[in-house]
Structure 1
């Protein structure tokens, strides 16, 4: 089987709708599952149709912009309500990317569409359930006072009560043990304090190591400078080798300074930044800890990705996601970082996900993946799937807090044995970051590839 046949077979087996559009936005090919999702009997039912015709007129500007960006060599995402050939209204999430020839000219577009109708229904059901439970709890709320050991009072909100007798016009509560409440509160406070102390101790340790490491590097830099100040005593080969050594020391010094900044506590300060620039900086720092058989790839784009957020917090978030991806891969595989443009339509918007233009940063790995049970608790503080002693369970909780603070949200897609993709959605900042330039290539350590 040729490589082309192999990839065509993979596309046919995909459960997503995968289309190829020509330069006019018409469907040139579609996989079998795509026919099912579009409710078509034969490929001839959809071939040569305009992709825009599957969407309501209100969404045509969004679709047109995505197609235009694709023809300009850029990828994009959007969500909305698609109308199938049988008239059914379905919620779809769509990604569009260019397909180029050997010379780099865009020949056509690839569209990957996913039906998210059921996921949206589950989200709505959960919102309705949460609202109903909140209403019921508020209606049934009562106050219980329990005497403490020091004649003080502990206040608890009543959420459950057992009716002992209908003839008696009151509720008899199950025993509420003050000691249990006090001990549970104390244990939780001690655990939280211990975790905070551990985090602070680790930060101080990292800062101390980086500081000592930086001092040693400066000594080495000074020694090389003293030698190179007398070039007449050096052969050309010696000068070349010393130059390379000086460059390596400069790179190591930059890493040490970033490590110092990463470990130091910073006040939150929102500012305009290029999200891709921060991702590249963290990838350079991350590559130092990769196993030889684990590849780190940053798919760099030519345009900037402006957001407004705390730069240090964003760097920590990217580092947390990369560390989780590294640990999930177990020393082999691939981690991919990519920035992109995204859009949330009114149809997809919720109280946690505002409609508008977004900038996305995805961290994808080929690691062990997660089941639904783990994903349901993913952002709980102190929850971790790592072995004891390997994780605090605070990393993703911090990422979640950052995204809420920045007005964004997180998408997680994971499958056991396949891998995980975590995508951070930041509201796009309409500010100028200067000329759009491709960031300079970063030197890659063994097991890394930052030149994609």
Structure 2
């Protein structure tokens, strides 16, 4: 016998249970465990060779035979039964019978028995005590009609209090849910306020720099214009240098206008514009500007869609969004422009005095690019923030400034790997489109 077999046998023999191995016919061929002493005080080895049914009283042998049949069919069976080991009172045993299969055939049975006499006797005693207490309770309740009435009143009161407690718990759960919703709304409002404060601070800084820069540019442009007036006195090479300088100054002036648009300090010329007509006219220009590999499709709701906006600033904003869409698709894909009207939302303006009748006019530009992650969405309209190599980071900042000047807002829907939709939303202008008040 190997060392492992020896240790395994020591573990089995040290168990408080009685463990037996039966052959296919139910004959005991191995027995071990301290629990076997109660079953065979004269020695557990005397059980070997006996049929397991012989250890049970006659009235229990039919039940035990059915247990072996179920185990032979592949089922593990658990049951509790009593038997008298000889001298003394009967003992109760909790028995587990499990089949052991080898080569898809039943080889033998494992039987583990545990003496649970104390537990059964304790349970019997408890049941007797409960029965005695129940009898005494019945006698007490039946002794007087007054006691019965009081008992019924007490039960009704308990049921009423239980119902009141359930109602209170339900109301408390509702209050907790409302508090959670209020906390989430407060967190969103705080995040929006922080973003607005940051945007305002950046806008004030950019506005101050842009104004100073614009004043210096005017001095440069006036001086260069004076040189151009006397360009005949200059050498051809010097005239070209003056021309280059004037063009650079004009480009710098355009950059200043974009900065001021972001800061909402640019002098705009708003007017009543039909957004649908503006977008339809812009789409023809966009098809040429975006190149032949980018398709442009426009969907417009019927009817007038009036807004009060700077026409040229809005056209520049639409072009900036379309150019970003083209770059997101690497110059190949489909841009879908939708323009229409909807019920009023969180964007308000001086025209939205009646929230119940407030309506919005929108234009959305969707691309089939790769979308953007959340960290890019959070910084999309910050000036000088860009994900493109060589980009200025002012295109979408100008979009934000133009829309904000018109009392509108920008909505972004983007999912990585799917695409991006940028929606410019404006309050519907209630006046006529011919410019008359």
Short-chain TM bin: 0.3 to 0.5
Higher Cα radius of gyration? 2
Q: Return the structure number with greater relative CO, CA threshold 8 A, min gap 6.
A: 1
- Give TM-score, length-normalised by structure 1: 0.38
